[in-house]
Chain A
């Protein structure tokens, strides 16, 4: 029982941390988006992702017991305890990066949620059913910008392709099954990464074709984000994300 809970908590972190870190990256753009409309859109997406994280972390806190809360999980872990993939921690280098990162995540996230809706774990199924409606809007938004930039001017095309060339090698990590994901899938709670991967590839193929972009052929980056090994980017993210709780432990609003 205890072991099962441990895997389930770890799985909730794998699910939640992607949304938390990507939500944080998007929140950095609040007031800095290239136009008012995109600024609002990106921060709205950020808000949706934070909402989803809260549900996952509240559940994880309940399973953990003791003093654990959604806030301690979000704010008080050490870097090696975060379980997100490397893609989502990549910085907001330019707007093409922001859109490329968002699209690649959405193209993975939507089919993931489509499977989690049928999870044997009622809580995960409920969060997925809620999130899926929001994520459809996210994918629509990011796909339409992929097309606009990829099939836009020479400059926007070149930047979009270059962002994708940098980001694409990080996406293979989504589908590298960890021990936790395997256990949780076998228990009927998790998702079949192979099915997700084929939907993901199709979405990428379709949108890239419309956006006049080439699918990069560079090999996969060897990354272990889901096992807690992160790039140098995470340190900077946590410095900001955790600042208040580190400077004023247990502060509340």
Chain B
């Protein structure tokens, strides 16, 4: 499942969608996050289907408001519909999105098995975003937001977030 294809859309619409990010992870655009499922255009009106990352994610409402605002600025109106199926997974985060997360200090999600090793069995597999060491320890299974867990590097001693695998 890939994110919506923007290429057939007018440039201003593409620009608007690419500039919106998750307010809690400002480096991750909504396109990189894979939450924009479908975009279509009728004259100057854009229809967008968004899917939430977590059911209770408070950032969803904000993203919808931001999208509308960015489009209005460029002379478009928008209708945003929240769709639940198929449910979002961290696999939909694009490679550039993963790189942006890492650069920002949030370790990108591992595959489900390694994720389980890290979160349940306490194995040291999550790579520190500061120094790259895997000598890291989970501090809390839930972090500053529901999608993240809190880790600490035992080598450079820096704390960092890990984006949990959701599949």
Contacts and interface: CB of A to CB of B under 8 A. Distances in A.
Nearest to B88: A130
A125 B84 CA distance: 10
Interface stretch (A47-55, A64-72, A211-219, A229-237): A47-55
Interface stretch (A78-86, A137-145, A153-161): A137-145
A129 B52 CA distance: 12
Interface centre among A37, A127, A131 (most CB of B within 10 A): A37
Interface string B81-102: 0001111110000000000000
B105 interface: no
Contact of B84 (A45, A50, A130): A130
Given A126-B84, A129-B86, A40 B54 contact: no
Nearest to A127: B84
A41 B148 CA distance: 10
Contact of A47 (B56, B119, B143, B166): B56
A28 interface: no
Contact of A133 (B85, B140, B143, B166): B166
A40 B87 contact: no
A141 B141 contact: yes
Majority secondary structure of chain A interface residues (helix, strand, loop or mixed): helix
B141 A55 contact: no
B146 interface: yes
Interface string A91-135: 000000000000000000000000000000011011101110110
B96 to A, nearest CB: 24
Nearest to B138: A37
Contacts of A162: none
Contact of B146 (A47, A52, A123, A126): A47
A44 interface: yes
Contact of B55 (A36, A37, A52): A52
Nearest to A140: B120
Majority secondary structure of chain B interface residues (helix, strand, loop or mixed): loop
Interface residues of B, number: 26
B101 to A, nearest CB: 19
B17 interface: no
A113 B56 CA distance: 17
A225 to B, nearest CB: 23
Given A125-B85, A129-B86, A130-B87, A50 B56 contact: yes
Contacts of A40: 140, 142-144
Interface centre among A130, A134, A144 (most CB of B within 10 A): A130
A143 B119 CA distance: 13
A48 B119 CA distance: 19
A48 B120 contact: no
Contact of B142 (A37, A50, A126): A37
Interface centre among B56, B89, B139, B164 (most CB of A within 10 A): B56
List the 7 closest pairs (A to B, CB-CB), nearest first: A51-B56, A51-B55, A37-B140, A126-B85, A47-B56, A41-B142, A126-B84
Given A48-B55, A133-B87, A140-B141, 19 more contacts: A37-B139, A37-B150, A40-B142, A44-B142, A44-B145, A47-B54, A47-B146, A49-B56, A54-B55, A54-B56, A122-B85, A123-B84, A130-B52, A130-B55, A131-B55, A137-B141, A137-B142, A141-B141, A141-B142
Interface of B: 52, 54-58, 84-89, 119-120, 139-146, 150, 164, 166-167
13 contacts: A41-B140, A48-B56, A50-B55, A51-B55, A55-B84, A123-B84, A126-B87, A133-B89, A134-B146, A137-B141, A137-B142, A140-B120, A144-B120
